[in-house]
Amino acid sequence: MQRIKLFNIIVEEISCGNCKTQYKRTVSISNIITSDGSAIAGVNSNYGDVATITKSSLTLSNVDSICDTYEVSLKGFLILL
């Protein structure tokens, strides 16, 4: 399992990716300023990923979603649920 804590950062042009080797990931997000992206976080339902987001501490501009849920298909592609 991978644990990540993101806080007090500024991010531009965010995007999500799919790692070759998958693990359960746990992320905590707070005090983020970001613009121009699809989502702050993406969790993979196949692996039980967890994203804890302090929504009141976010400053967003032109961001489509705070958190999207994905599932990996049999061919390894991410499917937005």
Q: What's the pLDDT at 15? A: 58
Burial of 30-67, coded b for 16+ CB within 10 Å and e otherwise, reads bebebeebebbbbbbeeeebebebeeeebebeebeeeb
| Token representation of residue 42 | 């993406």
- The Cα-based distances of 21 to 33, 50, 66, 79 in angstroms read 29, 17, 24, 17
Q: What is the pLDDT of residues 19-52, one digit of tens each?
A: 667 778 888 888 888 888 888 888 888 888 888 9
Where do the domains of the chain lie?
A: 2-11+24-80
CA angle (57 as vertex; 13, 59 as ends), nearest 5 = 35
Read off the pTM. 0.69
